[in-house]
Amino acid sequence: MRRRVWKTAVVLGLLATLAPGASARAATGSGTGAGTEPAPLERLFDNRAVSDDARPAEADFDGSGGSLSAQDLTAAGWTPGRALTVQGARLTWPRRTAGEPDNVRANGQSVRVRGRGDALVFLVAGTAGTDAVGSGTVRYAGGARSTYRLTAPDWRTGPLATKAVALPRVNTPGGQLAERARLYVVTVPVVQGREVSSVTLPRNRDLHVFALSVRSGSQGWTGSWATATSGYSAVGPWTDRTLRLVVHTSAGGPRVRIRLDNTFASAPVRVGSATVALRAQGAAARSVPVPLSFRGAAGTEIPAGAQAFSDPLGFEVPADTDLLVSFHLPGTVSAAPVHRLAQQTSYVSEPGDHAGDGSAAAYTSTITGWPLLTGVDVGGGPGSVVLLGDSITDGDKSTPDANRRWPDVLADRLRSQNAVPRYGVLNQGISANRVGTDVYPGDGVSTSSGGVSALHRLDRDVLAQSSARTAVVFQGVNDVRWGASADRVIAGLREIAARGHERGLRMLVATIAPCEGEARCTAAADAERSAVNAWIRSNEEFDGVLDFDAVLRDPARPSRMLPAYDSGDHLHPGDAGLEALAESVDLRLL
């Protein structure tokens, strides 16, 4: 019942008009930007952000002579007129040569934008030295409108954890500065089901807009498998190698597509070909792998910070089955976005394109992470439940190659019942992840694989997931173990709930499990954990509570895990404990 209340509140909030007392149905052209005929964004460009390295004075992005390097953008794969997919949205980098106007300083302009979907997607940056913030208006076919609030982080000081791309230098008339120039993709909700006709930009001339589109959503798809990029790590190096990654489906369907992400990267990555097959055993397929395509081509190049979806493929994907997703890397890849703790063996070939091989003969090396691949969607279905968590959700200490993580057991339960939709289950756990602190800084090659914070990855790992319906947040133990206060964790959880509800998701939260006996689970940390749990049990921000603390704790000593559930390190449940978590979930809450 609570879900309906939240969804109604979201829709009513989005349809609130600028004129007090006016109905959404009656709203027309009054307010910011009224009377201005909407124009394509590129016709409104009034600022020069990009300069050639040899002529830095031809652009002045920030009013102080600073600009983006055209050469650095090209090196990142962000070339003029190139279509980029980021967070599931298609954006086009301005088709402008260096020194030409290539962005809009937001000043209430009315922009022609068409489409139906779940979000507006802006490619932006601020130039005020801090966040550039402002409110604008979305107009829909038929006259209704809604308001939105847009925040553009600063191009030189904003968080690297949430940037779409970072460039290594800033151009100035006095020479290049070795600073990271950032661009950001920011999404804001729209009323789903209504056709957007135009967007009025905020009034803040320090807020620069390079591109704008409506994210069409993922109607007709259900997320069956997903993982979160936990860092940007040294790999291989792989030259002319094929990766064959093993993933386990939750939901099945008659069509399939994959998602590859070049998250956190500074350079493009080239995929020469890709296939999908049902797994027999090891790296061997049951039958000849079926080729995938990308916008009609056999392969694709993914710019830094962007992603690529394969074209829909008629391929029957069974539920609860291992898939082999294979892709050839024709160039040299020495670093890549990786999910480190896969708890699953995958394979690397000898030199050559072996994506189409049914045999395992060429796959002579193994890896235990998932590079580049972040999602597998299947056609149809009811949508997905997204589990945002840390190492317990990631499956640390579960039996490798056995799919005994608690999200796997939850998927088993959903498939074997009819009381609620048989959702896909997307595991977005990252070992060592925290609610409010970045473990991986969000930029550069690093040995750290704890990911950016839950707050910083929420848009990418939850809100942009295919047909997400419900999210479960099970995090906080790493925050309190590393000294965060209960108040800080609670503030982060509140923000996650609010942002999820803003997009119409049902939001559930789980209590933090006990961990007495682990080195960092001190009495002080346990006091903060208990305070967070007390808030979770009584909170009204989330739509439901999963009391995982009560499931795992030892009744004789509630600050520690029941020995039968303990993997042995006192922090992570073993297979029995993970199964107990999944079995405790009231499926009706989903």
When the pLDDT of each residue in the chain is averaged and rounded to a whole number, the result is 94
Question: Quick check: 371 pLDDT over 80?
Answer: yes
CA distance 77 to 268: 6
pLDDT tens digits for range 479-492: 999 999 999 999 99
Contact call for residues 146 and 190 (beta carbons, < 8 A): yes
pLDDT of residue 36: 74
CB atoms near residue 545 (< 10 Å) = 17
Cis peptide before 303 (omega within 30 of 0): no
Helix (H) or strand (E) holding 524: helix 523-538
Question: Quick check: 391 pLDDT over 50?
Answer: yes
Instruction: Tell me the mean pLDDT in the region 433-440.
Output: 98
What is the token pair recorded at 42?
Answer: 């590129």
pLDDT of residue 14: 56
Q: Which residue has the higher pLDDT, 262 or 28?
A: 262
pLDDT tens digits for range 273-321: 999 999 999 999 999 999 999 999 999 999 999 999 999 999 999 999 9
pLDDT tens digits for range 335-346: 999 999 999 999
SS3 of residue 417 by DSSP: coil
Which of 332, 331, 341 is CA-nearest to residue 231?
A: 341
Lookup result for tokens 């609860």? 320
pLDDT of residue 442: 96
Residue type, 89: A
DSSP 42: G
Instruction: Tell me the mean pLDDT in the region 6-17.
Output: 47
Q: Where does the pLDDT of residue 582 fall: very low under 50, low under 70, confident under 90, or very high at 90 and above?
A: very high
What is the token pair recorded at 135?
Answer: 């409110």
Instruction: Tell me the mean pLDDT in the region 538-567.
Output: 98
SS3 of residue 155 by DSSP: coil
Lookup result for tokens 């803040």? 204
pLDDT of residue 35: 55
Task: Count the alpha carbons within 13 Å of 193 in the hemisphere toward its beta carbon.
Answer: 5
What residues does each domain of the chain span?
Answer: 16-215, 232-378, 382-590
pLDDT of residue 218: 83
Percent share of the chain, pLDDT over 70? 94
pLDDT of residue 316: 98
pLDDT of residue 16: 47
Q: Where does the pLDDT of residue 13 fall: very low under 50, low under 70, confident under 90, or very high at 90 and above?
A: low
Strands 181-189 and 165-167: antiparallel
Contacts of 399 (CB under 8 A, 6+ apart): 343, 575
- Cα–Cα distance list, 462 to 117, 226, 316 (Å): 16, 10, 26
pLDDT of residue 578: 98
Instruction: Tell me the mean pLDDT in the region 23-27.
Output: 31
Question: Quick check: 12 pLDDT over 70?
Answer: no
What is the token pair recorded at 198?
Answer: 């135009």
CA distance 227 to 338: 9
Which of 229, 402, 237, 224 is CA-nearest to residue 333?
A: 237
Q: Where does the pLDDT of residue 219 fall: very low under 50, low under 70, confident under 90, or very high at 90 and above?
A: confident
CA distance 89 to 307: 10
pTM summary value: 0.94
- Cα–Cα distance list, 96 to 77, 93, 480 (Å): 15, 9, 49
Instruction: Tell me the mean pLDDT in the region 530-551.
Output: 98
CA distance 451 to 228: 8
- Cα–Cα distance list, 249 to 216, 344, 388, 403, 489 (Å): 24, 13, 18, 10, 32
Adjacent-strand bridge partners of 234: 335
Question: Quick check: 163 pLDDT over 80?
Answer: yes
Instruction: Tell me the mean pLDDT in the region 164-179.
Output: 97
Instruction: Tell me the mean pLDDT in the region 99-122.
Output: 97
Residue type, 25: R
Q: Where does the pLDDT of residue 192 fall: very low under 50, low under 70, confident under 90, or very high at 90 and above?
A: confident
User: Maximum distance among all alpha carbons in the chain?
Assistant: 72
pLDDT of residue 217: 79
Instruction: Tell me the mean pLDDT in the region 562-568.
Output: 98
CA distance 217 to 214: 9
Residues comprising the chain, all counted: 590
Instruction: Tell me the mean pLDDT in the region 550-554.
Output: 98
Q: How far is CA 221 from the centre of its chain?
A: 17
CATH architecture of residue range(s) 382-590 = 3-Layer(aba) Sandwich (3.40)
Instruction: Tell me the mean pLDDT in the region 249-255.
Output: 98
CB atoms near residue 394 (< 10 Å) = 29
DSSP 463: I
SS3 of residue 50 by DSSP: strand
The dihedral built from the CA positions of residue 300, 457, 10 and 36, taken in this order, carries a sign that is negative
> Within 176-264, where are the H helices?
none
Question: Quick check: 23 pLDDT over 90?
Answer: no
SS3 of residue 203 by DSSP: strand
SS3 of residue 120 by DSSP: strand
